[in-house]
Amino acid sequence: MSQIETVLKETREFAPSQEFVARANLQPSEYQRVFAEAARNPIQFWEGAARNIDWFQPWQKTFEWKEPHAKWFVGGQLNASYNCLDRHLKTDTKNKLALIWEGEDGHTTRLTYQELFERVCQLANAMESKLDLRAGDFAAIYMPLVPEAVVTMLACARIGVTHSVIFAGFSAHAVRDRINDARCKVVFTADETYRKGQPLNLISIVRQAVAECPGVQHTVVLTRNASTHLSGREVAYQAISEAQPKTHTAKPIDAEHPLFVLYTSGTTGKPKGILHTTGGYLTGVNQTARWVFDLKPNDIYWCTADIGWITGHSYVVYGILSLGMTSLIYEGVLNHPHPGRIWEIADRHKVTILYTAPTAIRSFMRAGEEHPNKYPMASLRLLGTVGEPINPEAWIWYQQTIGKGRCPIVDTWWQTETGGIMISPIPGVVPTKPGSATKPFPGILADIVDENGKSCGPNEGGYLVIKHPWPSMARTILGDPDRFRDAYWTRFPGMYFTGDGAHKDAQGYFWIKGRVDDVINVSGHRLGTMEIESALVSHPSVAEAAVVGPPDELKGQSIVAFVIPKDIANLTDLSALEQSLKRHVANEIGAIARPDRILLTRTLPKTRSGKIMRRLLKDFAAGKTTSGDTTTLENPNLVDLIK
Ligand code: WTA
């Protein structure tokens, strides 16, 4: 366990205020009982949670398990779109805001539940009558964070079409591979989005991708620029939905019907299509949103994540709308056109709950507290973080400077694969410690184990595992069930392996350290080192490449690539090659994967069996001398840098 050292020595503890506790959705008096009962019988606990969802047909069997494939609420029928829309139209929620959208230029759109419902119905009608989409089909969504993107997700769910949202920052190659992997019939996109005041063309990327996607029958384009010209199989989003009826009967969908696929990085080059189904997923995100965000009817909730990531799926769309809450979305950069933009938005829209990433918090901390101090943000009552470990310093800054000491902080640990929050404080109940995600959610049996799968003692570093299936867990990797088993269920028999290292303290609080595999976490986004390596070696001048993610103060981890060029003897312009490699990776995967540093080298440290010793490269990139064992090295000369 030498890689997993227990270094944190954080002892501060914060209890929620009396005022917060008095109104909390889950009361301290109930918590012990709920937690203990859920641990004894998680299936019964989740069955209770599923009763908060509207079902067209009750389930016959709560849980079926053939490791590693779970089924929850077998035989039940429901509709995720119905649960996010129709059921609220029977109450006052009908006229409440479902979405508040703000564009980078300050424009806002507000949609009530009734209005959102009508838009979703129109698009669902168009999908059936104009696009020939049916339950069982897959559709790709490559859209900026606009209301129409949420409408498209909910319209797919309404008719049983499985959506695959692809973050609108991925390159044409990445988009093409994802579309083809899921055999998407239709792609939804927009002609452009705006970043830092500049238009960014999306449709050209989609066009380039779709040219190599034989299965795509239509591209539906939200046109925002009057001069965009559509051709061939492209149709305007507005044109197909406008004339459609504003009602539509949601289709009853089997609980285990796939709601969406979402691609995420793993330890090999190919991204994994994580498949989530309907009943269990909705149950999980609804229950966790209710307790972790302690949502109340008057809350204005803002999660800054894009819908291209799991956080956007679960806690911008499905968890939040299924509870009838108001969800704010912002299409733009959080520090544009000024460093306090995020606080300005929170203040103007009277946001009560803010959920963002540690990377963002660290960068705002660095920008200085004079920016948040310009905005009272008096409405804020709860703050959350997700995506990577938060360092205690940033946690305290968030709590003091943004929360003014009055808002509990929920540091939520979870993954694309888990669907919903797994380890997090329940804010009225669990005292927080800066840097700790605290305790597992009721019904989640998390533990930390050693190499042999044996539970670790207090403060002993080990591997984070989940010991009982839960409803919102991924069902498989699309088209590759073997990889699903290998990646998560073979390392520790009978347990789900998260890929994260962690320890528990004497009070049973979980402290997550980060990945123990070849996945790096840059600004809260997971990237596989192999994925970037395959992109690098596809460049004509590259013979071999190894990518590591040394710690970075701001981004969590940075991307450093060690590259052996092919024709070393004739290399003249090193910096031109470096630039070309960076561009190439951005082109193959997307700008998020662009290496921060490229180190051109003649050799890479390898074991005698030919495995690259990444640990050494990581130490090297971080400027550390290597302390670990190097006796298995084939070439004792670590890296022979050209430059
Ligand atoms: C990391 C994001 C520490 C972790 C929802 C996990 C965290 C990966 C936290 C999943 C947290 C996420 N504390 N680490 N609160 N939240 N992580 O799939 O390494 O994009 O395995 O899901 O992010 O990233 P993903």
- The amino acid at residue 64 is E
- Tell me the CA–centroid distance for residue 234 and ligand 1, in Å: 37
Whether the CB-CB separation of 547 and 595 falls below 8 Å is answered with yes
Q: What is the pLDDT of residue 266?
A: 83
Atom of ligand 1 nearest to the CA of 424: 15
Q: What is the pLDDT of residue 1?
A: 40
Q: What is the pLDDT of residue 3?
A: 39
Give the β-pairing of 409-412 and 382-386: parallel
- CA dist 353 to 296, 346, 600, Å? 10, 9, 46
Nearest CA to ligand 1 atom 23: 387
Mean pLDDT score, 574-586: 95
pLDDT at 4 over 50: no
How many residues make up the chain in this entry?
A: 643
Go through 487-513 and write b for each residue having 16 or more CB atoms within 10 A of its CB, e for each that does not: bbbebbeebbbbbbbbbbbeeebbbbb
Whether the CB-CB separation of 256 and 278 falls below 8 Å is answered with yes
Q: Please write the tens of the pLDDT for every residue from 380-433.
A: 999 999 999 999 999 999 999 999 999 999 999 999 999 999 999 999 999 999
What pLDDT band is residue 5 in, cutting at 50, 70 and 90? Answer: very low
- Cβ-Cβ contacts under 8 Å for 121 (sequence gap 6 or more): 155, 158, 244, 245, 246, 247, 248
Q: Please write the tens of the pLDDT for every residue from 199-226.
A: 999 999 999 999 999 999 999 999 999 9
356 lines ligand 1 (CB under 6 A): no
Residue with tokens 């329940």: 426
Q: Please write the tens of the pLDDT for every residue from 618-627.
A: 888 888 766 5
- Domains of the chain listed by start with CATH number: 4-502 (3.40.50.12780), 515-642 (3.30.300.30)
- Tell me the CA–centroid distance for residue 178 and ligand 1, in Å: 22
Task: Work out the number of other CB atoms within 10 angstroms of the CB of residue 557.
Answer: 21
512 lines ligand 1 (CB under 6 A): yes
521 lines ligand 1 (CB under 6 A): yes
Q: What is the pLDDT of residue 608?
A: 75
Q: How many DSSP H helices and E strands does the chain contain? A: 19, 32
To the nearest 10 degrees (0 to 180), the angle between helices 42-50 and 279-292 is: 90
Atom of ligand 1 nearest to the CA of 411: 15
Q: What is the mean pLDDT of the chain?
A: 94
Q: What is the pLDDT of residue 226?
A: 96
Choosing from 444, 466, 512 the residue with most ligand 1 atoms within 8 A of its CB, the one to mutate for a pocket test is 512
Closest to 642 (Cα-Cα) out of 570, 594, 550, 558: 570
Strand residue runs (E) in 180-308:
186-190, 192-195, 198-201, 218-222, 234-236, 253-254, 258-264, 272-277, 300-303
SS3 of residue 298 by DSSP: coil
Tell whether the torsion through CA atoms of 78, 82, 84 and 86 is positive or negative.
Answer: negative
Atom of ligand 1 nearest to the CA of 309: 20
Mean pLDDT score, 582-608: 92
Task: Work out the number of other CB atoms within 10 angstroms of the CB of residue 610.
Answer: 7
Atom of ligand 1 nearest to the CA of 416: 18
Q: What is the pLDDT of residue 276?
A: 98
Q: Please write the tens of the pLDDT for every residue from 223-268.
A: 999 999 999 999 999 999 999 999 999 999 999 999 999 999 887 7
- Tell me the CA–centroid distance for residue 430 and ligand 1, in Å: 20
Q: What is the pLDDT of residue 122?
A: 98
| Cβ-based burial of 600 (10 A; exposed 0-12, middle 13-18, buried ≥19) | buried
User: With pLDDT > 70 as the criterion, what percentage of the chain qualifies?
Assistant: 96
- Beta-bridged to residue 521, according to DSSP, are 526
pLDDT at 32 over 80: yes
Give the β-pairing of 198-201 and 192-195: antiparallel
Tell whether the torsion through CA atoms of 629, 631, 632 and 635 is positive or negative.
Answer: positive
First to last CA, the chain: 34
- Tell me the CA–centroid distance for residue 416 and ligand 1, in Å: 8
Phi, psi angles (nearest 5°) of residue 82: -60, -45
Closest to 259 (Cα-Cα) out of 206, 313, 320, 308: 313
306 lines ligand 1 (CB under 6 A): no
Nearest CA to ligand 1 atom 12: 387
Task: Work out the number of other CB atoms within 10 angstroms of the CB of residue 65.
Answer: 12
310 lines ligand 1 (CB under 6 A): yes
DSSP secondary structure of 334-368: TT-SSTTHHHHHHHHTT-SEEEE-HHHHHHHHHH-
pLDDT at 607 over 80: no
- Tell me the CA–centroid distance for residue 390 and ligand 1, in Å: 11
152 lines ligand 1 (CB under 6 A): no
How far is the C-alpha of 87 from the C-alpha of 302, rounded, in Å?
22
424 lines ligand 1 (CB under 6 A): no
416 lines ligand 1 (CB under 6 A): yes
pLDDT at 631 over 60: no
- Cβ-Cβ contacts under 8 Å for 186 (sequence gap 6 or more): 127, 131, 133, 137, 139, 140, 216, 217, 218, 219, 220
312 lines ligand 1 (CB under 6 A): no
137 lines ligand 1 (CB under 6 A): no
557 lines ligand 1 (CB under 6 A): no
How far is the C-alpha of 164 from the C-alpha of 185, rounded, in Å?
11
Q: What is the pLDDT of residue 629?
A: 57
How far is the C-alpha of 225 from the C-alpha of 173, rounded, in Å?
25
77 lines ligand 1 (CB under 6 A): no
- Tell me the CA–centroid distance for residue 106 and ligand 1, in Å: 31
Residue with tokens 């400027």: 623
What pLDDT band is residue 637 in, cutting at 50, 70 and 90? Answer: low
User: With pLDDT > 90 as the criterion, what percentage of the chain qualifies?
Assistant: 87
* pTM for the model: 0.94
Choosing from 274, 386, 444, 523 the residue with most ligand 1 atoms within 8 A of its CB, the one to mutate for a pocket test is 386
- Beta-bridged to residue 66, according to DSSP, are 69
Q: Please write the tens of the pLDDT for every residue from 540-575.
A: 999 999 999 999 999 999 999 999 999 888 888 999
Nearest CA to ligand 1 atom 14: 388
